[in-house]
């Protein structure tokens, strides 16, 4: 049966005409339903905020670990920092900022998994970059101000769209609406000249059918690290039509960022004397990128049992990062040597721009079935295509003459097609026992043609087929307690650099994830305990090997695993007091790891073999807590703590290549008043790292042999000491 299913789906994928017709049918469906609604004057509208993302979200009966975050929680913390920092208190989460203050280039790891292994969807639409598979929050400044809810699934999770979830998935929903019209502005200012200003407005529900929401945002920050500035702009507009249990909504949102680079980190020898050091000094050493998103989202109730949720989407991205290169070899830019006064010059100072110009478009959909008895199910999937152009321009040289004003020393084009279909079923076997099943089939076609930045030919066609089954069980012990367990399989294709850097084609990664846990909840106390064992095959990791131009590459390691226990508790122990706490204790290991140390003395590279080592950037202990106190109505103080154990920056478990453990404490205060002239005014204070703890949450390392000695160089990304943000929110 499995083989037959794969063959049928393979035929469908190859039929591009079929896919184009499907898009046309979806557009026609939207037009037909809108026409029918125009003839119907019904005013009964159900709350549909979560219906579109329902098919890709977990619930208490899927047997998986997840956390839901809602708009009311986001608002308390959303004073200007990027999305990862708003999620810092969630279980198994570690966040970092290149600029050190939570604005600009920021990242998040969950269970030690980096952003390329965390699946992100916006209203069910994939957001991870198709080639690098990473997520660049800097391209969505202040997006959190438009978010209604976020679900963070840890582990493989349920089937979703886009890049394979190898550590977690973030399912973000923006589709809420207010029945009443409002206007709102948020103004904040803080350390390092961090400023945020936005304006939000909504028509409310007009004539019980129409709604229009809008947001315009501007953020700036000098950054904690020298010159690590950010200049960010964004907008969000959403127009919707609702009728009974159906709606159509069109979202347009965009982000524009100009960020001064601080990617190189701080050398270890400068940490104590100049921890804000930035190696870049060229005035226009910036990343300049804009990304525009268009989403046509809808939900149609077909019968009493079936709901159809189709979405069409298109994303346009274009931008570059500019660099000054000192004494660059002309041959590396396909430029001839220069002769001046009888002297031959083969290198020169120059300025270059590396461009990315891309389009991403496709369809996501789900059919949801609800029997109103024992059975509910989803059938869903997506077809998405990425068309990306990479090229590099030399815009200035000290000596060489450029062939043209827009001279390109390399250019390539990549086409990536991602298709998946999944089926999910929930069955209530008895009053206490529930079964969850989930099967996904996914194919990836990745074609590249042209020359990369090191003048290497990257022309290659690659394809993958993945089968991802999942099974979950839930047993209700009583009205307050339940036990659950799940088994899930995930597969993930290598990213662009893996293909470019490896002479031998890298293999896809495979993950088997076992989760089991216990949940208990009452009106004042809740507790979740979750055990996980994530067994990897062919995980791609850094080993110390380099490519032909000396850049670090990833290679497959046959066996590795992550095993741990996640504990989460929430306790309202008094009318005015609440405690939220979580802790993760884990072991993250590679079996039989081989390190390669490059030898620049012209002799053989050094090979070090290890029976078992820690996976890089995977602390054994992560803990977070929030103690909140509300002395009077509309006033809340919260003390937030985060502890992260030591992390190794490579896979050798060498204490000379590690990030030290850190313990950071923040203070947050929110006070709301409701004067007669406006609906409400909220004043907020966020004091970060109140004890001025100096720590580094990210870094990198490399070793080599020179003059017969092993040299190890470590670089770190320092985070800001004590700093603050003050904000006021006015809603009318």
Q: Which of 720, 589, 598, 716 is nearest to 657 (CA)?
A: 716
- 513 to 412, 441, 561, 602: CA distances (angstroms): 37, 17, 10, 44
Residues sharing a CB contact under 8 Å with residue 139, sequence separation 6 or more, in sequence order: 255, 257, 289, 291, 317
Could you tell me if 188 and 725 are in contact, meaning their C-beta atoms sit under 8 angstroms apart?
yes
- Alpha carbon distance 432, 483 (integer Å): 10
Place of tokens 């469906």: 29
Looking at residue 280, what is its pLDDT? Answer: 95
Strand-pairing partners, residue 727, are 188, 684
Looking at residue 271, what is its pLDDT? Answer: 95
Phi-psi region of 605 (alpha: psi -120 to 50; beta: other; left: phi over 0): beta
The CATH homologous superfamily to which domain 40-731 belongs is TonB-dependent receptor, beta-barrel domain (2.40.170.20)
Could you tell me if 163 and 492 are in contact, meaning their C-beta atoms sit under 8 angstroms apart?
yes
Q: Which residues of the chain have pLDDT under 50?
A: 1-2, 4-6, 8-9, 11-19, 21-22, 25, 31-46
- Alpha carbon distance 352, 335 (integer Å): 13
Q: Hey, what are 650's tokens? A: 């490579």
3-state secondary structure of 163: coil
3-state secondary structure of 205: coil
Looking at residue 208, what is its pLDDT? Answer: 87
- Alpha carbon distance 15, 383 (integer Å): 12
Looking at residue 552, what is its pLDDT? Answer: 67
Q: Which of 163, 134, 167 is nearest to 418 (CA)?
A: 163
Name the phi and psi angles at 255, rounded to 5.
Answer: -135, 140
- Alpha carbon distance 730, 673 (integer Å): 10
| pLDDT one-digit tens code per residue, 655-677 | 999 999 999 999 999 999 999 99
Could you tell me if 138 and 105 are in contact, meaning their C-beta atoms sit under 8 angstroms apart?
yes
Q: Hey, what are 496's tokens? A: 């662009």
3-state secondary structure of 187: strand
Domain ranges of the chain: 40-731
Pairing mode, strands 210-221 and 230-243: antiparallel
Q: Which of 543, 559, 459, 568 is nearest to 509 (CA)?
A: 559
Name the phi and psi angles at 463, rounded to 5.
Answer: -140, 155
Q: Hey, what are 567's tokens? A: 């504990």
- Alpha carbon distance 95, 240 (integer Å): 35
Q: Hey, what are 540's tokens? A: 């791609």
How many C-beta neighbours within 10 Å does residue 460 have?
Answer: 12
Residues sharing a CB contact under 8 Å with residue 440, sequence separation 6 or more, in sequence order: 159, 420, 421, 422, 466, 467, 468, 469, 470
Return the HEC string of 308-325.
EEEEEEEEEEEEEEEEEE
Place of tokens 């095993």: 563
Return the HEC string of 640-655.
EEEEECCEECCCCCCH
Q: Which of 635, 597, 617, 610 is nearest to 699 (CA)?
A: 617
pTM for the whole thing?
0.92
- 173 to 75, 93, 411: CA distances (angstroms): 15, 20, 36
Quote the Cα angle for 383-388-392, to 5°: 170
3-state secondary structure of 356: strand
Q: Which of 262, 247, 267 is nearest to 308 (CA)?
A: 247
| Pairs from 405-408 (Cβ < 8 Å, separation ≥ 24) | none
- Alpha carbon distance 727, 198 (integer Å): 11
Helix H or strand E segment including 38: helix 16-38
- Alpha carbon distance 10, 465 (integer Å): 9
| pLDDT one-digit tens code per residue, 426-437 | 999 999 999 999
Looking at residue 727, what is its pLDDT? Answer: 98
Helix H or strand E segment including 2: helix 2-14
Name the phi and psi angles at 158, rounded to 5.
Answer: -80, 165
- Alpha carbon distance 427, 417 (integer Å): 33
- 412 to 322, 329, 394, 454, 493: CA distances (angstroms): 18, 21, 16, 12, 20
- Alpha carbon distance 647, 643 (integer Å): 12
| Pairs from 598-601 (Cβ < 8 Å, separation ≥ 24) | 598/544, 598/545, 598/546, 598/550, 598/704, 598/705, 599/704, 599/705, 600/704, 600/705, 600/706, 601/705, 601/706, 601/707, 601/708
Buried b (16+ CB within 10 A) or exposed e, 480-514: eebebbbbbbbbbbbbbbbbbbbeeebbbbbbebb
Q: Which of 643, 648, 586, 587 is nearest to 617 (CA)?
A: 648
Q: Which of 291, 358, 244 is nearest to 122 (CA)?
A: 291
State the Rg of the chain over Cα. Answer: 26
Strand-pairing partners, residue 669, are 637, 685
Pairing mode, strands 525-546 and 509-521: antiparallel
Q: Would you list the DSSP string of 136-151?
A: -GGGSTTGGGG-SEEE
How many C-beta neighbours within 10 Å does residue 275 have?
Answer: 18
Q: Hey, what are 461's tokens? A: 């066609």
Name the phi and psi angles at 30, rounded to 5.
Answer: -60, -45
Looking at residue 350, what is its pLDDT? Answer: 97
- Alpha carbon distance 456, 506 (integer Å): 17
Q: Hey, what are 522's tokens? A: 């009452």
- Alpha carbon distance 36, 23 (integer Å): 20
Q: Tally helices (H) and strands (E) across the chain.
A: 5, 37
């Amino acid at each position: 049966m499995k083989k037959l299913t794969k063959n049928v789906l393979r035929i469908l994928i190859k039929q591009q005409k079929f896919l184009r017709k499907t898009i046309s049918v979806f557009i026609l469906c939207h037009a037909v339903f809108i026409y029918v609604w125009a003839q119907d004057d019904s005013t009964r509208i159900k709350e549909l905020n979560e219906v579109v993302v329902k098919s890709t979200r977990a619930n208490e009966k899927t047997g998986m670990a997840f956390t839901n975050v809602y708009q009311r929680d986001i608002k308390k913390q959303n004073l200007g920092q990027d999305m990862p920092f708003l999620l810092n208190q969630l279980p198994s989460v570690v966040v970092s900022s290149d600029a050190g203050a939570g604005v600009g280039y920021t990242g998040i790891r969950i269970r030690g998994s980096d952003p390329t292994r965390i699946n992100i969807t916006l209203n069910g639409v994939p957001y991870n970059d198709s080639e690098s598979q990473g997520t660049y929050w800097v391209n969505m400044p202040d997006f959190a101000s438009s978010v209604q809810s976020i679900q963070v699934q840890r582990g493989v999770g349920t089937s979703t769209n886009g890049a394979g979830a190898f550590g977690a998935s973030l399912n973000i929903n923006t589709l809420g609406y207010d029945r009443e019209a409002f206007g709102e502005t948020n103004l904040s200012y803080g350390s390092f000249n961090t400023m945020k200003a936005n304006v939000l407005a909504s028509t409310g529900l007009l004539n019980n059918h129409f709604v229009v929401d809008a947001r315009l945002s501007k953020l700036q920050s000098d950054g904690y690290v020298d010159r690590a500035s950010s200049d960010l702009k964004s907008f969000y507009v959403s127009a919707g039509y609702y009728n009974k249990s159906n709606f159509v909504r069109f979202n347009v949102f965009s982000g524009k960022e100009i960020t001064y680079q601080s990617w190189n980190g701080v050398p270890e020898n400068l940490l104590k004397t100049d921890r804000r050091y930035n190696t870049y000094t060229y005035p226009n050493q910036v990343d300049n990128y804009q990304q525009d998103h268009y989403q046509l989202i809808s939900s149609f109730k077909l019968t009493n049992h079936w709901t159809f949720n189709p979405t069409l989407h298109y994303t346009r991205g274009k931008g570059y990062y500019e660099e000054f290169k000192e004494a660059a070899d002309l041959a590396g830019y396909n430029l001839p040597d220069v002769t001046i006064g009888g002297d031959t010059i083969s290198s020169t100072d120059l300025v270059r721009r590396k461009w990315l110009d891309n389009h991403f478009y496709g369809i996501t959909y789900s059919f949801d079935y609800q029997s109103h008895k024992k059975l509910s199910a989803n059938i869903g999937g997506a077809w998405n295509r990425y068309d990306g152009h990479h090229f590099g321009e030399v815009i200035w040289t000290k000596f060489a003459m450029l062939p043209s004003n827009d001279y390109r020393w390399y250019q390539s084009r990549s086409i990536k097609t991602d298709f998946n279909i999944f089926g999910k079923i929930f069955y209530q076997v008895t009053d206490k026992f529930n079964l969850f099943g989930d099967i996904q089939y996914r194919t990836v076609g990745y074609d590249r043609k042209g020359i990369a930045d090191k003048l290497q030919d990257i022309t290659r066609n690659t394809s993958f087929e993945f089968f991802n089954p999942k099974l979950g069980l839930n047993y209700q012990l009583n009205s307050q307690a339940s036990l659950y367990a799940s088994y899930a399989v995930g597969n993930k294709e290598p990213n662009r650099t893996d293909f470019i850097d490896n002479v031998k084609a890298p293999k896809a990664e495979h993950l088997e994830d076992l989760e089991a846990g216990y949940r208990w909840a009452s009106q004042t106390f809740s507790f979740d305990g979750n055990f996980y064992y994530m067994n990897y095959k062919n995980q791609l990791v850094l080993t110390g090997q380099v490519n032909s131009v000396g850049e670090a590459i990833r290679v497959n390691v046959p066996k590795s695993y992550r095993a741990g226990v996640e504990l989460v508790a929430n306790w309202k122990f008094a009318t005015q007091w609440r405690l939220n706490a979580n802790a993760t204790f884990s072991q993250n290991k590679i079996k039989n790891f081989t390190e390669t140390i490059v030898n620049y003395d012209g002799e053989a590279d050094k090979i070090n073999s290890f029976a078992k080592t820690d996976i890089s950037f995977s602390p054994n202990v992560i803990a977070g807590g929030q103690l909140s106190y509300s002395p009077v109505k509309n006033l809340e103080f919260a003390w937030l703590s985060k502890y992260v154990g030591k992390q190794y920056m490579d896979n050798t478990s060498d204490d000379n290549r590690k990030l030290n453990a850190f313990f950071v404490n923040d203070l947050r205060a929110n006070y709301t008043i409701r004067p007669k002239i406006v609906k409400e005014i909220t004043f907020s204070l966020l004091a970060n790292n109140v004890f001025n703890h100096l720590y580094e949450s990210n870094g990198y390392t490399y070793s080599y042999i020179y003059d017969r000695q092993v040299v190890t160089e470590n670089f770190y990304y320092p985070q800001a000491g004590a700093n603050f943000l003050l904000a006021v929110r006015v809603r009318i």
